[in-house]
Amino acid sequence: MTAQDAQKTIFVTGAGSGIGRATAQLFAQRGWFVGLFDVDANGLEATAASVPEGQRISMAFDVRDRSGWARAVEAFGQATNRRMHVLFNNAGVGRGGFIDEMSEADIDLVLDVNLKGVINGVTAALPLLRETPGARVVNTASVAGIVGVPRMSIYCATKFGVRGLTESLDVELGRYGIRVTSLMPWFIDTAILDGAPGDGSNRRMRDALVENKTPIYPVSMAAERAWDAAHGSELHYMVGREAERARFFARFFPGAMRRQISKTFGTEG
């Protein structure tokens, strides 16, 4: 085995910012070769500048584009001697608002990036994953994949979908020796919290969280849990104490959880 073959490898989508950037940096610091991929070329360039040149490959592409996936996976395979120890399906977008006030374009964007993009990634990367002993897929879901939140119905639908996809694929791909896990963050300090709400108001999600004194966790915490998800034996990896609490209350006290969500996010027009 060559030194190159001994180095672990991770393919990261959404690497241009937020959780993707922090995770790529953490894995690189711990000796991994990282593939950096994002639709945002400028953000991708900034991330690449923080990783040693001989330890990464980067390419801009849209996870909605199957041909883009094929090109990215091929380039990654050429750079890693056809090894992909971890596929980190992390790219995602946030668009909110009452469903009857969301545009068709925003609905399609959230569905296509957050759910279809993850499926595209698994299907495109599967040949390399099958060739890599001990390979794993880590999908970024969310606490929004545990309990529904008003003004986030489409986003929640995608994250519930990613959670279900993860659970199904962990069994299905087990016949190839591939584990599939998910990262399920509470609110993380990323640009998603600052996005336009999509309901005609100027109120950001961050505004409601700060007003209600809801904890917002740093991206470094999510990156550490992504490391755990790439190595541990659990199926879902919660990020933050509030995420653990949400999972507990959604399971055992769903009524109380829904009342708290309604109080925090409101349902009035």
* Cα(33)–Cα(10) distance, integer angstroms: 6
Read off the tokens for 238: 């919660």
Q: Kindly report the CA angle at 86 between 54 and 52, in degrees rounded to 5?
A: 15
Spatial separation of the C-alpha atoms in residues 117 and 90, rounded to whole Å: 9
Distance CA 20, CA 43 (A): 11
The CA distances from residue 18 to 183, 202, 213, in Å, are 14, 22, 22
Question: From the CB of residue 130, how many other CB atoms can be counted at a distance below 10 Å?
Answer: 14
SS3 87: strand
3-state secondary structure (DSSP) of residue 122 = helix
Answer yes or no: are the C-beta atoms of 68 and 79 closer than 8 Å: no
Given a contact cutoff of 8 angstroms between Cβ atoms, the answer to whether 81 and 57 are in contact is no
**Any idea which residues carry the catalytic annotation?**
155
Burial degree of 103 (CB within 10 A; 0-12, 13-18, 19+): exposed
Asked whether 101 and 267 are in contact (CB, 8 A), the reply is no
> What gap in Å lies between CA 142 and CA 155, rounded to an integer?
10
